[in-house]
Structure 1
């Protein structure tokens, strides 16, 4: 499985995903990953240049910045976290949250709709990775308070937002509160049918087949969301992940490819994520 994926990565991936794959599976250099991530960094401390494939153009965006910080955290590097927080401070609303994306020049996927309102999904993702990195910054304190307020009041949601909340709960320092909120959030997921346990039905507003499965919510066995699913449910999900590897060695994604290049950029990303999920849950070494 990994040998086929390796061939796919070297034949199809950006330098960033090649460096990441080599670090994760072949003992490659973390410094090489950092160097690749730095190519997407802007002078304002944020990240752009289509690091997240669905947001084209050079300008810094919240999701690009989250992706960059996640990649740096993966190799154990906190460099650029403080300047990224400085950038986030410039786009943060009075309530401590950031918008889903900024109305900057450039092309975006149709679902990247700029709004001045604070967005729980993006703010929770950013806060989660900064807590994971052990960062202390005034932006993070306000963003964490925003996430707690919004999460406590959450009675309706959608899978991407819930997934972002789950990542926040995995890393926020207040563990007793995280445990309580995770239990409540898991009940919401089951009650509202926000997880695909084999029926393949997408949530309203999502593309056909664009569903969240147990391993998306619980990418590792120690994720709080692991408690949301039975052993049989997770096992069936992981069987499906393994079976979804294509003949070329890669995995693919269910959301729309709104411009051709995103197909080539997203497939290596989701290939690495599939391998990481399988390895984390003991399916591959």
Structure 2
């Protein structure tokens, strides 16, 4: 079973009608031979003077101020593009923000900042939240990885990034039983280490094995539970080349069937979460998220040969 051309066209038209400029540029980059510059231009609109990011780049928090989570979201968009220009103003701005020490507590960047409370947001981005996303790995592992990938090797920030990354690696190997979001942050750190050709500076093979083993433990095998907020195979397996795919190939194929079966009447996919508050703002964010989810799902279907386009 594949996503047929007419169904793909329904999704494409929905994206063109509803997605914010950033996600439309991402869609065009992946599926319509769009270039990198439009994505970067749209992304730059969320960057503040201090080099950080805000303004609901992460669509569940409408804080306009720079926050580490928003910076990490910008990093994820750059990594998605496989962007490598360390001199680009967006990259240099993020490095400036990280080098400033803003929103840091010791060797970690804050997961939640107090100013989130002043703007519409999901409950887990409130300072009183005890969400499983609240972990010192999230977003510190992503931001440290960004430093390793982009900072000049002879600068103090790179040295600090290396120190933070090695500390996180040691802690993770001692206690690898993380929840989904923190584990994904560790996986991103490993990708950045590899992109920076820094594997010899870490117990890299052991880290990879630990991430793979823990992700296999987290993935829900029962498809009946996937409609809720759960860890599906695609949280960690993005293509046939992903570590661990061979052991979970059957389950991945089952998830691909699930995606094809669960498109809503609009032809895209519903969110499996809500804010339980700020109803008007969530209705806007919900559409933003639907575009992001559509991009992720179509990319997944494409990677596994399930796109009949």
Quickly name the TM-score band, shorter chain normalised: 0.7 to 0.9
Contact 2:142–2:186 at 8 Å: present in 1 too?
A: yes
5 Å-filtered alignment, 1:178-189, equals: 178-189=204-215
So what's the TM-score if we normalise by structure 2?
0.79
State yes or no: 1:195 paired with 2:206: no
Deviation at 1:244, TM superposition (A): 2.5
Q: In structure 2, do the counterparts of structure 1 residues 178 and 254 end up closer, same or farther at CA, with 3 Å as the change threshold?
A: farther
Q: 8 Å contact 2:180–2:231 — kept in the other structure?
A: yes
Deviations 1:148-189 (A, max 9, x none): 133122243212222222222233231773332222233334
> Are 1:36 and 2:42 an aligned pair?
yes
Separation in 1, partners of 2:220, 2:135: 28
Question: Could you tell me how far apart the structure 1 residues matched to 2:221 and 2:233 are?
Answer: 8
Contact 1:196 1:214 in 2 (8 A): yes
Superposed CA deviations along residues 74-122 of structure 1, whole A, max 9, x for unmatched, are 332542223212212322332x22111221243321101348x971121
Query: Which of residues 126, 142, 145 is equivalent to 1:113?
Result: 126
1:81 counterpart residue number: 91
2:97 alignment partner, SS class = helix
| 1:126 aligned partner | 143
Change (3 A) 1:114 1:143: farther
Q: Distance in 1 between matches of 2:150 and 2:8?
A: 32
Measure how far apart 1:36 and its partner are.
Answer: 0.6
Query: Counterpart of 1:119 in 2: which secondary structure?
Result: coil
2:301 aligned to which of 259, 278, 285: 278
Matched ranges for 1:213-224 at <5 A: 213-224=232-243
Structure 2: how far apart are the matches of 1:25 and 1:119?
35
Contact kept, 8 Å, 1:209 with 1:254, in 2: the verdict is yes
Structural mapping, 1:212-251, within 5 Å: 212-226=231-245, 229-251=247-269
Distance in 1 (CA, whole Å) between partners of 2:167 and 2:245 is: 25
Residues 249 and 225 (structure 1), Cα distance of their counterparts in 2 relative to 1, 3 Å cut: same
1:233-253, CA deviations, whole angstroms, 9 ceiling, x for partnerless residues?
Answer: 221122212323333232222
Corresponding residue for 1:174?
Answer: 199
Match of 2:14 in 1: 8
Corresponding residue to 1:58 among 64, 68, 84:
64
- CA distance in 2: counterparts of 1:164 and 1:63, whole angstroms: 11
Normalising by structure 1, we get a TM-score of: 0.85
Is 2:36 the partner of 1:19? Answer: no
How many Å separate the matches in 1 of 2:127 and 2:162?
Answer: 24
Q: Which residue of 2 is the match for residue 205 of structure 1?
A: none
Indicate how the Cα distance of structure 1 residues 69 and 166 shifts in structure 2: closer, same or farther if over 3 A, else same.
closer
* Distance (Å, rounded) in 2 between the aligned partners of 1:77 and 1:170: 13
Matched, 1:156 2:177: yes
Q: Is 2:104 the counterpart of 1:92?
A: yes
Bigger-Rg structure (1/2): 2
- 1:269 equivalent in structure 2: 292
